[in-house]
Structures are given as structure tokens and as C-alpha cells.
Structure 1
Amino acid sequence: MTLNDLYDTILARKSADPDSSWTAQLLAKGPEKCAEKFGEEAIEAIIEAVRDDKPALTSEAADVLYHLLVMLAARDVPLNDVLAELARRQSQSGIAEKAAR
């Protein structure tokens, strides 16, 4: 499964019955709740990175990616826009990109 596949599945869940899907439940709670869940998962990933627990970090990283995509979907931000921004940044050094912000 690619991130695009996962994002497409998340988009399909936007119109699903919240009783039938965790993703639909989360999206039904609104963008703010989706952002909160993303933040919680990011913190959990940070904790596992500091602990140097690779299996736990792997699991939490998957949660972070999933919840990032849910948050993007909640705000109608296409994944392809994010990927295009990454591609744009790839054409310059990180130092130059940071200075341009």
C-alpha cells in the first residue's frame, strides 16, 4: 500500500457511516479533533524515538502518517499538493529552503 492508496481510502471514508469506520468517526469529529489526534501520535513517536525502541517507533510512525493524512483530508488538502511541495523543495538545499521561508 502506498500513501496515495491510504489517502484514497481515507477520502472514501469521508462519506462513510461513522458507526462503520474509525476514520469516518474521526473525520466526523472535525478538523480540530483530527489535528489533536495527529499531535498525540507525533508525541508518541517522539517518545519511542528517544527510547530507541525501533519496533515501537515503526508502529508509531505508521500512526503518524495515517493521522497526518486524515488531518489533510479533514482540511481538503490534497496529498498530491504536499508531494508537489516536497518535490519543489528537493530542487534546492535545505538551508536555502529554510532561508526562503
Structure 2
Amino acid sequence: MKTYYNPEDLKKFGNIGEFQPSLAEKFFAYYGEVFAEGALTAREKSLIALAVAHTVQCPYCIDAYSVDTLEKGCSEQEMMEAIHVAAAIRGGSSLVHGVQMMNKVKELSM
């Protein structure tokens, strides 16, 4: 089955500025600052990025941060736990919107 996702495209990410160099430069400068050591370690930031990548369902990001977290010394168990945290938040956010439905149903029932 053919999909839109092509793993080879991840290698081309650095070329994203071809059509708009100034914005790409600003983005990559920002990106670099975000992932630099700070209050969080680069390792912690990589785990967060891996979890978010699953939440936003970006296969390129999943590939990139699977490699990055391993390179930064994360275990498979830590990686999966981070993904479960993201899944729990995503599931919980869906459920909490159920309150909106309940409010509407109660409003209509009155």
C-alpha cells in the first residue's frame, strides 16, 4: 500500500527554506534554542518531543525523535512511558469534552 509518508523526506527537512529562506532561518534558530539545555535537559526535551510527535501523529517527528531519544540514552521503557502519558492526555481531553455534550443534552431536555 502506498502512503503519502516517505521516510526519505525527513532528510530533506533542512531544505525547507528553499522557497522562503528568511523564515526558515528564523524557525531553525528558534528550534535550536528550544531544544538547547535549559531548565529541562536535552534528554527530557527529546522525550517530550517524542510524546508530542505521537499526539500530533507526525511520522517524520516520530522517526526523528525515536532516534534522538535513543542517542540521548533513553530506554525503550522510558520512551513508551512518555507515549502513554501523551495518550492519556489525549484520551482525557476527549473525555472531558463529554461534559460539553452533557451540558447540551441537559439544556435540550429542560
Q: Which has the higher contact order (CA 8 A, sep 6+)?
A: 1
Highest CA radius of gyration, 1 or 2?
2
Given the two structures, how large is their TM-score scaled by the length of structure 1? 0.31
Given the two structures, how large is their TM-score scaled by the length of structure 2? 0.29
